[in-house]
Structure 1
């Protein structure tokens, strides 16, 4: 799982969380966003990307944040590229390490 610190703001309130986290979760095959720790539970007040394939594109994640009244500070091109690379690496790994990967190893072994 990748995790990078970014800033998330509350639309129209001037509040921001400079320690928000964005990343890619390989088991769920989704980008995720966590911001604004809840005062009583330590759970994030904003937590997107908790379901399988919830956000397969970064833009989808940003639109969901906006629909919940939050916004992300613009991601640097370097960070956006890194997140896309994290997703691609996880996709390659799941094919090699899963059941299909085991089958391919078995099929490629000399008899």
Structure 2
């Protein structure tokens, strides 16, 4: 899994410790920002489903549609994220009991 720290903004706040990355088991890019005091709940958590975002730019577009934004990623970060994703592109989907439970929960 690759993870890069970025700053995510919304109308009322800025989160300098947000994370964008590639999740090989889910074969998706993800974005996490604005944890609560415990660090457990996030105001923004994208990329939790299999193949949800297949380009590094896709989570940014999804974040914008929810009222969040972040500065464009540096070319070298985009290249590393894309390389990480490509290296895991042929990974088979999870097929165990936990994966079945997650699919069930996501279908509701």
TM interval, shorter chain, is 0.7 to 0.9
Task: Give the structure-2-normalised TM-score.
Answer: 0.77
Larger of the two Rg values belongs to structure? 1
Identify which of structures 1 and 2 has the higher relative contact order when contacts are C-alpha pairs closer than 8 Å and 6+ apart.
2
Aligned length: 92
Deviations 1:43-96 (A, max 9, x none): 22110000011101122211100011100111111111110011011125x27x
**RMSD of aligned alpha carbons:** 1.6
Q: Secondary structure at the match of 2:63?
A: helix
- Listed as ranges, the matches of 1:62-101 within 5 Å are 62-91=60-89, 94=91
Structure 2: 5+ residue runs without aligned partners?
93-108
List per-residue Cα deviations over 1:8-38 (Å, max 9, x = no partner): 111x33x111110000001111000000002
How many Å separate the matches in 2 of 1:41 and 1:79?
25
Are 1:23 and 2:2 counterparts? no
Instruction: Compute the TM-score of the two structures, normalised by the length of structure 1.
Output: 0.76
Match of 2:9 in 1: 9
Structure 1 segments of 4 or more deviating over 3 A? none
Deviation of 1:40 (Å):
4.9
| Higher percent of residues as helix | 1
Give the Cα–Cα distance (whole angstroms) in 2 for the partners of residues 20 and 40 of structure 1.
Answer: 15
